[in-house]
Amino acid sequence: MTAIAAAHSVSLAALKAANPQVGNPEAIYPGEVLSIMGGSSPHSPSISSAGAIPIGAVTYGRFNGGGDVTSWILRACQIMGVPSAHWLRGYQVLCSRESSGRANAINDYDTNAHGPIQSDGYPLHCSRGVAQCIPDTFASHHAAGTSTDIYKPSSQHCPPRCAMS
């Protein structure tokens, strides 16, 4: 939890307090979902230590944080421990084409746009976010240590992800 707290600019005490379900804060196991309190988002995004997550674990809080496509890509590369030079230009082009760089873009009109309505008011299989992920792909390619929120840009960029997978 110490590394997770540091990565999300919250105190270890606050992270522990937000996650009383964690028995041993020094041992986080795959599949555990943590709540990260604070930050710039109005909801409490969850950070999962799991790689792939169940589709039901995907969350749908709209992003209202700062930054731009470049800063989101650089953060994702930092999380994944990959050199940004290998990903930056490709993801900049992808995000420009898919969402015009809008973190809260939703495609609710193509053939993917079906399924039960989710907490953001749109069908399950709509493409969402800056990289236009569908929840199925987002869940199956979830990167450990990132938010389960499909609108969180740095979670969509974690290579390989979404339209580039």
Band (pLDDT 50/70/90 cuts) for residue 31 is low
- For residue 25, how many other CB atoms are within 10 A of its CB? 15
Residue 78 has pLDDT above 70, yes or no: yes
Write out the two tokens for 93. 């082009």
Band (pLDDT 50/70/90 cuts) for residue 77 is confident
Write out the two tokens for 111. 């053939």
Strand, helix or coil for residue 146: strand
The predicted structure's pLDDT at residue 59: 92
The predicted structure's pLDDT at residue 53: 85
In whole angstroms, what is the distance from residue 33 CA to residue 47 CA?
6
Bridge partners for 117 per DSSP: 123
User: Rg of the Cα trace of the chain?
Assistant: 15
Residue 49 has pLDDT above 80, yes or no: no
State the burial class of residue 93 (Cβ atoms within 10 Å of its Cβ: 0-12, 13-18, 19+). Answer: exposed
For residues 120-149, average pLDDT: 89
Q: Please say whether the beta carbons of 35 and 19 come within 8 A.
A: yes
How high is the mean pLDDT of the chain? 80
In whole angstroms, what is the distance from residue 36 CA to residue 19 CA?
8
Band (pLDDT 50/70/90 cuts) for residue 44 is very low
Residue 90 has pLDDT above 70, yes or no: yes
